[in-house]
Structures are given as C-alpha cells and as structure tokens.
Amino acid sequence: MFENVGPASDIAKGTALQVEVDGVEIAVVHADDDNFYAVRDECSHASVALTEGEVDGCMLECWLHGSRFDLRTGEPSGPPAIDPVATYPVEIRDGDIYVSTKPSNGVEP
C-alpha cells in the first residue's frame, strides 16, 4: 500500500522533506541523481531527524555526528552509525510522490 505525500515539485533537488506515512516519520529525498528516495527520518546512531542533514549524491548525512546513509539501501557508510535505516519504495504518479507503508530493506521503523 502506498500513501500520497504531496507533489514532487515541493522537494527541490538536493533536499529532504519530513512526511508521516502510516504513523512513521519518513525523510523523502530528491537526490542528485534526480530520483526520489524515502528512508526512516531518524539516525540509527543518535535518534535525530535526518531531514535536518545534507544530501550528497545518493547519501543523506546526519547533522549531529556525520553518519552518512545510502538512500538506496539504508546502509551507513561508516561510524558512528553501524545499523541501517529503513528504506521505503517510492513511486511518482501524475506528479505526486507516493511512499510505501512497508520498508523494502527488511529494517523495521
């Protein structure tokens, strides 16, 4: 099941927006590769919002300690985070972003 989280035009390339999907805070990211990705909006290391961090390519960096997460897999690129964040399938339909209510990488939100 997918939920509509708003127009794709609301998220500029290289930025992230926090949305709520099925009661879970999700970071929807318009990455530098022009694709949209969705990950749990909480760093697995420090429990802070990833949407406050920087987008670099297909990575989202936590603003607090610098952990970087691959938007495609949820995997951290190195310490201090060692656990991945949940990733969610994204579809663009008629200019709107739809995010799945179920993680795609097996990590629970």
Q: Which residue segment(s) compose the domain that 61 sits in?
A: 2-100
| Count of structural domains, the chain | 1
Residue 108 placed within a domain: no
According to DSSP, residue 105 is labeled S
Peptide bond into 80 cis (omega under 30): yes
> Residue 78 half-sphere exposure, CB side, CA atoms within 13 Å?
1
According to DSSP, residue 21 is labeled E
Residue 109 placed within a domain: no
Per-residue pLDDT of the chain (109 residues; tens, 9 = 90+): 999 999 999 999 999 999 999 999 999 999 999 999 999 999 999 989 999 999 999 999 999 999 999 999 999 998 899 999 999 999 999 999 999 999 999 888 8
SS3 80: coil
Of 32, 28, 39, 45, residue with least CA distance to 104 = 39
